[in-house]
Structure 1
């Protein structure tokens, strides 16, 4: 069945008041598909501590973008990550902060000065109204006041914007607090160094686990250009993919963490390679005309498979356990830190507090993989060679 565009007459009351849903493409469920699970099913699995079963439930239930489950599902998934560091989500805390920061609870009519961790060129608001964009600005600003050690985190804004499509402003803030303060899993990187670590991690695991697509990408550009393409990996997702794909990805991300985005990026490469390798492909023609980066952007926007097929490709990639990804991530972080120390470079914003101590996210990263990270003794020359060639 072909996707449909919501008309004014048939707009379901599932989106928040901050959304203008006209123009949102809906991919209906297949008539032969199994009945979708309910919020009660999700609650039962959470109460029983069956997180692995919940993971598969979220991956396999293709709720369309206009399904009413998300206004309960998303807060529920985020709340499970609550810990002692997320006390800034206590009831009423958000509105107290709003009054302190802005002096009123009314949405400001003038633009808000966003925190410096926001990337101005990536303030994606999707289908939010003008008031919706003002609400995102306000949530992000309050988050910046509550967590001043967030140095650089360009994904906070689009994630916040997506949440506001289905839940209230206060719920959105609370959800963001749970994600930012999570100890067990990484959801959002918060320093420039760790942002660099993520794209290098994507590049490394892609070259190992999706070799064909990675080689295809490399074949059509030089090494430095390929690296620049990988640098934008997160924007393949947040800026490139259709809304209906993005929403299903977020369903899984809110439970599993940033590794869902890694799999998403690799799925994009797999499908891009599959649809571009033929000489008669329109994407091959785009590569020849405007370059592989332009073709990849075009492909993301026109994603030719359904959201559920896309997720099947993403979660079908073998060998990507959380422990493995964490090892690659930590190893990459260690190499980058070592290179920074050796070169004396100050170009990267270090993951340090104002007292020059490791910040909370760095400590969490080390704690998360301490039980899986095997340190092998190697000759100093080997370590130095690895750092230089990285």
Structure 2
């Protein structure tokens, strides 16, 4: 990470001229409105600044490097969730030096299980990730020119990464991930997630955050079948929450199924970068349900646009997302006002779709005898690499307990 304190970007992978360009995407006036509107909840701002550092992983040989992991109660989590949804930090705001890594290292503790100890934090040296990536980045890049098999090479997203340094480093990070997780056979989200994270974090931090997402099962599937299950769930959610939009899609497109397969890419390939960064803020705290909400909203807005449009400027949903006519604030407002779209419901739907797909693909008359032993349920992932304990350790006390309650 660069030492320049004027911006939060990883200058090693983004060209200087590009930095100037992307810093102009949000006006100074917009920055001031955001800061003034949201200056009061200092407890949450302090929470998101806890690991205030230029880099947690500057060298694998420095055993003193550590990150502090904090827990939050259900009440704290919900307050933080609404806080993050409502504030739009500019893409070059200094909080972005540590925002995403702090969000993703929070541990949520259920209100029914609050028998914590006196200590409210834990600090663990993060040298394992550094050693893993140091031992593999250079050796792998010289042997492999292709992308890992889990990458969707028809939808590569580089955003503002430089070709010589940024894209090359992204390639090596994904090769390292693939070598330690061979059970991840198809995961299109990994490439855009990694590329986006690399704009604000160095390779060690990116690798660490990818492991956090893997442990949380927030990668939207790790096989072709699981990815298809997510697509099927999206289609069902659209028909449930926006039936009229689903009807328009079915009438307009001969193969609506192909269109629905793009639900993830409407966000990560076509939306403006500043929108994408804000969506990532919420995703890293709340998980894949945020992505479902956003894509459902995009279809709803798109079908509303083409229903009343007469000049035909918008030819497809990709064009609509590129030229999206509403602000990110408005997009989030609509998305988060979809009623009763809950994480648990989505998880149950995904599990059901996975089982259905397995049964459909694998069951035959000759298999009925072994049906009990081959039910088609995908077993829990067993990582090929031992999980570092600091990735799953749950501190026992909420760091917000001692702070002032949130004021309206």
Shorter-chain TM-score bucket reads 0.7 to 0.9
Match of 1:179 in 2: 213
User: After the TM superposition, which of the residue ranges 65-74 and 202-211 deviates more from structure 2?
Assistant: 65-74
Instruction: Provide the C-alpha distance between the structure 2 equivalents of 1:61 and 1:78, rounded to a whole number of angstroms.
Output: 18
Give the C-alpha shift of residue 306 in structure 1.
1.1
Q: Give the secondary structure class of the aligned counterpart of 1:320.
A: coil
> Could you say if the C-alpha distance between residues 19 and 230 of structure 1 is closer, same or farther in structure 2, counting changes exceeding 3 Å?
same
Please identify which structure carries the higher helix content. 1
Deviations 1:158-184 (A, max 9, x none): 1000001111211111000100122xx
Say whether 1:360 aligns with 2:354.
no
Give the C-alpha shift of residue 90 in structure 1.
6.6
Instruction: Provide the C-alpha distance between the structure 2 equivalents of 1:362 and 1:212, rounded to a whole number of angstroms.
Output: 41
* Alignment equivalent of 2:87, drawn from 61, 65, 90: 61
Instruction: Provide the C-alpha distance between the structure 1 equivalents of 2:287 and 2:149, rounded to a whole number of angstroms.
Output: 24
Give the C-alpha shift of residue 316 in structure 1.
1.0
> Could you say if the C-alpha distance between residues 70 and 30 of structure 1 is closer, same or farther in structure 2, counting changes exceeding 3 Å?
closer
Aligned length: 322
1:157-236 → structure 2 map (5 Å cutoff): 157-182=191-216, 186-222=218-254, 225-236=255-266
Alpha-carbon contact 2:141-2:175 (below 8 Å) kept: no
* Relative contact order, higher structure (CA 8 A, sep 6+): 2
Give the C-alpha shift of residue 313 in structure 1.
1.1
1:104-123 → structure 2 map (5 Å cutoff): 112-123=145-156
Give the C-alpha shift of residue 188 in structure 1.
3.5
Alpha-carbon contact 2:354-2:377 (below 8 Å) kept: no
Deviations 1:51-72 (A, max 9, x none): 1111111111111111111221
1:267-278 → structure 2 map (5 Å cutoff): 267-278=297-308
Cα RMSD (Å) of the superposition?
A: 3.0
* Alignment equivalent of 1:23, drawn from 21, 24, 38: 21
Match of 1:42 in 2: 48
Instruction: Provide the C-alpha distance between the structure 2 equivalents of 1:14 and 1:278, rounded to a whole number of angstroms.
Output: 42
Match of 2:78 in 1: 52
Alpha-carbon contact 2:354-2:378 (below 8 Å) kept: no
Q: Give the secondary structure class of the aligned counterpart of 2:131.
A: helix
Alpha-carbon contact 1:118-1:156 (below 8 Å) kept: yes
Instruction: Provide the C-alpha distance between the structure 1 equivalents of 2:162 and 2:301, rounded to a whole number of angstroms.
Output: 33
Match of 1:372 in 2: none
Q: Which runs of 5+ in 2 are unaligned?
A: 51-68, 109-123, 366-375, 384-408
Alpha-carbon contact 1:63-1:248 (below 8 Å) kept: yes
> Could you say if the C-alpha distance between residues 140 and 102 of structure 1 is closer, same or farther in structure 2, counting changes exceeding 3 Å?
closer
* Alignment equivalent of 1:321, drawn from 324, 342, 350: 342
* Alignment equivalent of 1:126, drawn from 159, 162, 174: 159
> Could you say if the C-alpha distance between residues 74 and 279 of structure 1 is closer, same or farther in structure 2, counting changes exceeding 3 Å?
closer
Give the C-alpha shift of residue 343 in structure 1.
5.3
Match of 1:340 in 2: 361
> Could you say if the C-alpha distance between residues 109 and 150 of structure 1 is closer, same or farther in structure 2, counting changes exceeding 3 Å?
closer
Q: Which runs of 5+ in 1 are unaligned?
A: 1-10, 83-88, 288-293, 345-355, 364-390
Give the C-alpha shift of residue 46 in structure 1.
5.4
Give the C-alpha shift of residue 242 in structure 1.
0.7
> Could you say if the C-alpha distance between residues 133 and 41 of structure 1 is closer, same or farther in structure 2, counting changes exceeding 3 Å?
same
Deviations 1:289-327 (A, max 9, x none): xxxxx4211101101111111111111111201122122
Instruction: Provide the C-alpha distance between the structure 1 equivalents of 2:170 and 2:355, rounded to a whole number of angstroms.
Output: 34
Q: Give the secondary structure class of the aligned counterpart of 2:244.
A: helix
Give the C-alpha shift of residue 212 in structure 1.
2.1
Match of 1:368 in 2: none
Q: Give the secondary structure class of the aligned counterpart of 2:334.
A: helix
Structure-1-length-normalised TM-score:
0.75
Match of 1:94 in 2: 129
